[in-house]
Every structure is written in structure tokens, then in C-alpha cells.
């Protein structure tokens, strides 16, 4: 995954002439930096994605990177619908899994930024999903959120594997906003 782009690479993505990208850069509309001792310009990925979104331009090959990818495991339809309202389809891709096995398959193909696991599917299975994700080096930065019932909150387990826990009942909008914040923060650090 490329993190820094030349003006020529940006031109190919935007389907414009390199000179056009240089004009965007020089006018301050497209942020980046110059290589010391030369006139070469470099544009960090996050600035390019922001520029494309602000100007309604297609993201092209960056679309998959720019979208927040969320895997919902064992989540009931009420919470799913609440999250779909808060996390718009143009910015977030939501995938569903009903079991640990499905979650593993989905995680491999989606490479999610965030996994929300409902302990209603079974405490042991939910913990196993979280522990397996944390053991895999590809998912060490993945945001993990647990949805707990009163029994799960009262019982002891290692909560440090989760970034956040929500105890039922909770407001889906609050969960959605927290997911949005954590995924946005992760995307800026990557």
C-alpha cells in the first residue's frame, strides 16, 4: 500500500495531466511537501484522499483504502440497521458474520478496520474470535469492540484485547459514532 505519491502517480489516479496536479499543489489545494534540494513534489495518501473527496472526484484505486471496513459478528438486525444509518455506504463497508468460522473467512477477505463482536453468540466463541484476531499480525491494529450483556460485564475476562466494550442495552447511534471515531483515527495513523 503506497503512502506517498508523486505528481505523476496522482495524475494517473485523477486521469489528468501531471502539470494539473502541480498547479493544484502550488495553489495549496492539494497538500504535500517538496523534496529538499529539488522541485519534486510528494503527496501523502491521506491528503490525496481528502482532496479527492472534497472535490467529488472518484477515488479509483484508493477507494478500498479510503473506506472504513467494518465486520459485524453475531450482531442483531436492530443494531445492524442503526449502524447502517450512522455509517453511510459511501464511507463505510459493513460485512456480516454469524459465527467464528464465518468471521475468520470474512476477516481474511475484508481485512477490516474494525470488528464488532456480540457476546450473545456465546462468550467463549466471542473471546476466541477476538483472541485469534489479536494473535494474527495482520490484525494487530484492528479496532475490536465487544457488545456485552449484564452477565458478561459481571464475569471476569481480559478486556485489554478489546479497544471498547458496550454494555446492553445501548444506543446504536453512540456505537456508530464511536466506530466512526476509532476507524477514522486508525486510518490517519496507518
pLDDT one-digit tens code per residue, 61-80: 776 666 889 999 999 998 99
C-beta separation of 62 from 47 below 8 A: no
Report pLDDT for 188. Answer: 65
Whole-Å CA distances, 96 to 73, 102, 136, 153? 6, 9, 20, 24
Report pLDDT for 113. Answer: 92
Q: Which of 138, 110, 115 is nearest to 127 (CA)?
A: 115
Q: Is 183 helix (H, G, I), strand (E, B) or coil?
A: helix
pTM for this entry: 0.70
Report pLDDT for 155. Answer: 63
Report pLDDT for 138. Answer: 85
Ranges under pLDDT 70 in the chain: 1, 63-66, 152-155, 188-190
Helix axes 123-135, 100-110, angle to 10 degrees: 30
Amino acid at each position: 500500500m503506497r503512502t506517498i505519491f508523486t505528481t505523476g502517480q496522482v495524475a494517473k489516479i485523477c486521469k489528468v495531466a501531471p502539470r494539473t496536479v502541480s498547479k493544484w499543489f502550488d495553489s495549496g489545494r492539494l497538500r504535500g511537501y517538496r523534496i529538499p534540494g529539488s522541485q519534486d513534489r510528494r503527496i501523502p495518501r491521506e491528503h490525496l484522499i481528502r482532496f479527492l473527496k472534497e472535490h467529488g472526484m472518484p477515488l479509483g484505486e484508493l477507494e478500498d483504502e479510503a473506506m472504513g471496513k467494518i465486520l459485524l459478528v453475531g450482531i442483531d438486525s436492530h443494531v445492524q440497521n442503526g449502524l447502517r444509518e450512522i455509517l453511510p455506504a459511501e464511507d463505510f463497508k459493513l460485512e456480516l458474520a454469524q459465527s467464528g468460522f464465518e468471521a475468520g473467512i470474512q476477516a481474511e477477505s475484508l481485512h477490516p478496520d474494525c470488528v464488532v463482536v456480540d457476546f450473545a453468540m456465546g462468550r467463549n466463541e466471542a473471546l476466541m474470535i477476538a483472541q485469534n484476531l489479536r494473535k494474527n499480525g495482520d490484525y494487530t491494529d484492528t479496532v475490536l469492540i465487544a457488545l456485552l450483556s449484564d452477565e458478561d460485564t459481571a464475569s471476569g475476562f481480559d478486556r485489554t484485547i478489546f479497544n471498547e466494550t458496550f454494555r446492553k442495552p445501548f444506543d446504536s447511534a453512540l456505537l456508530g459514532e464511536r466506530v466512526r471515531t476509532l476507524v477514522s483515527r486508525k486510518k490517519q495513523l496507518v
